[in-house]
Amino acid sequence: MKVEGKLTGLKPSQLRRLERLHRRRVPPAEVVSLELAGELLGLSEDLGRRVGVLLDRSGTVQRVVVGDATRLRLPDLGRERSGLVRFRGVRLVHTHLRPEPLTQDDLLQLTQHRLDLTAALWRTPHGPARTIELAHLRPPGPGEQEPFARVGPLPLDRLDLDLTRHLRDLEAEFARTVRARDVGGGRDRAILVHVARRAEWSRGEGEISVAELRELARTAGVEVVDVLVQLRDRPDPRTILGEGRLQELNLRAMQLGADLIIFDHDITPSQSRAIADITDRRILDRTQLILDIFAQHAETNDGKLQVELAQLKYKLPYLARKDDALSRLTGGIGARGPGETKLEESRRRVREKVARLEAQVRELARRRRQRRALRAREGVPVVAIVGYTNVGKSTLLNTLTRSAVLAENKLFATLDPRSRRLRLPDGRDVVLTDTVGFIRRLPATLREAFRATLEELRDAALLVHLCDASDPAVERQVRTVDEILAEMDLAGVPRILVLNKIDRVPAAEAERLAEQLAALPCTARDPASAAAVAREIARRLPERPAPSAGGDPELDRWIHPAPTRTTGADEDAWRD
């Protein structure tokens, strides 16, 4: 077996001594034998470098690793065996050249690789000849205790630990903790991560973004246990946070019992792989979180179809890594050597399914155009309620039409458009449509999921733009919706701005916002207040609306934007 690590400058005789460490055996119940400890310390002093061995549970040396004078970095250990309950199945025993306890790097490697334990050996000049300190993981407990426990420092010959029993009991305790959490609710526990430019955070934009991500997590059924904000000029192109900060985040996740890390940024496939090499926590970005919410809330076949299409389009780039080790070998003339790899097969199948779904979406669009053309011949105008997500659009629809459309205090509670007939105070009938809410930085892969709603908006004779008076970011949300409508070439459609939830803010603040935004104040739950909206709709509704039942090139350009030239490094580093 080869020796790994920093081997430059070592003599052949020293390399042979290191290779002979593979022949050593340690009793399974012991952390390290006195003989192996002595040999490790002797080698370390001879080399002037840290030396470590990875021992499996049978006491066999699996790997020999050499570091420098102050640090020993473990090679890639793969992902076999470790999990929330089970440890890696190997322990690290290594040397320190000076009498010093386990370092932060030692403890980070323990948590990152979920080792059985890590142990440091050193010689004390005026104390015991061989001193040891070890640390092992422990289940998350109450408060914010460290995710590991230390033993020592103490003389090696006084270490009294039955390692086999200790690991068995410890893994059983982890299993009980995980089961108790599942019985208690089973919700994912997550740490939110936001990387912001200093100027952006000083303007308050970062705080608004974090608050929105927290609300997205709540809607997805995730319990947020902590939020990490890092201010820097630009994200690290490889790991977003930087490797050191990401290792600290992994330690924090173990400390709080978090099994999920959610980034408030889109993560590239290369970044996803780099982050996965450092932490075994599940990683989500903002787009994946929104996709998950869409998948939960899609009820109609149309909605489910379009959400599935968006998910597949998002996942396809993550299947780009080549791996000849997974080749399916074929034989015969013209088919020698590696055949289609598993990843290539996965990509092909995903592309084929995307093509099938796109064809189904086109058929759905054709049928919707037919329905809209029929409705246009009947002369019933469409009034669409638009706005930021979770501002009360479904509640207003229910109050005006006396219906029972699902209305929840969650983002994207409505995903599929809902239409109801409404008789206005002047006797005219209209179709009132509740649409999916908009959101900042709407990912391109999700625009297809909005197609049904967007086509309804194209036929609207009037838009009722609802906003939330109680949200601190109400003005920004109004601008976001205006920008999205302008991108869809809907800026010319008549529009009423309605300031909802005025009962949740002081009267003076509601009056100020209504005047500043030129909005009609309203409480969607109050029938009298909603009636004022109906009267304004009747006043502003054109006498003879002329809906369009055909295709719309501006809408298609917004759903499928033309590619723009960007610098690859900048795009990977800062995608929001």
Give domain limits for the chain.
3-182, 189-293, 378-559
Phi, psi (rounded to 5 degrees) for 164: -60, -50
Note the pLDDT of residue 320. 57
Strands 61-66 and 462-468: unpaired
Backbone angles phi, psi at 447, to 5 degrees: -65, -30
Is 33 within 8 Å of 39 (Cβ atoms)?
A: no
pLDDT, residue 523, reads 92
Quote the pLDDT of residue 412.
Answer: 56
Homologous superfamily, domain 378-559: P-loop containing nucleotide triphosphate hydrolases (3.40.50.300)
Q: What's the CATH architecture for 189-293?
A: 3-Layer(aba) Sandwich (3.40)
What are the backbone dihedrals phi and psi of residue 155, each rounded to the nearest 5 degrees, phi first?
Answer: -60, 140
Q: Are the beta carbons of 86 and 171 closer than 8 angstroms?
A: yes
3-state class of 469 per DSSP? coil
- Give the C-alpha separation, 141 to 181, whole Å: 11
CA distances, 271 to each of 98, 99, 191, 433, 569 (Å): 37, 38, 18, 41, 12
Measured CA to CA, the distance from residue 392 to residue 97 in angstroms comes to 65
Task: Classify residue 163 by burial, with Cβ atoms within 10 Å: 0-12, 13-18, 19+.
Answer: buried
Q: Does residue 506 have a cis bond before it (omega within 30 degrees)?
A: no
Give the pLDDT score at 555: 40
* Spatial distance between the Cα atoms of 304 and 294, rounded to a whole number of angstroms: 8
* Distances 180 to 141, 208, 227, 277 between C-alpha atoms, Å: 12, 34, 24, 29
Is 189-293's fold the same as 378-559's? yes
To the nearest 10°, the Cα dihedral for 537, 540, 546, 549?
A: -40
pLDDT tens string, the chain, 576 residues long: the values are 688 999 999 999 999 999 999 999 999 999 999 999 999 999 999 999 999 999 999 999 999 999 999 889 888 776 554 555 578 889 999 999 988 889 888 888 888 788 999 999 998 876 557 899 999 988 766 655 677 889 989 999 899 999 999 999 988 888 887 665 554 455 788 999 998 877 767 666 778 888 888 988 888 888 898 898 888 888 888 888 888 888 888 878 877 878 889 998 888 888 888 888 777 788 888 888 888 888 887 777 777 887 888 888 888 777 754 443 334 344 444 434 444 466 667 778 888 888 888 888 778 778 777 777 776 777 788 898 988 888 888 889 888 888 765 555 555 555 566 788 888 888 888 888 887 778 887 776 676 656 655 666 777 889 999 999 998 889 988 998 898 888 878 888 889 999 999 999 999 999 999 999 999 999 988 999 999 999 999 998 876 544 444 444 444 444 444 444 333 333 333 333
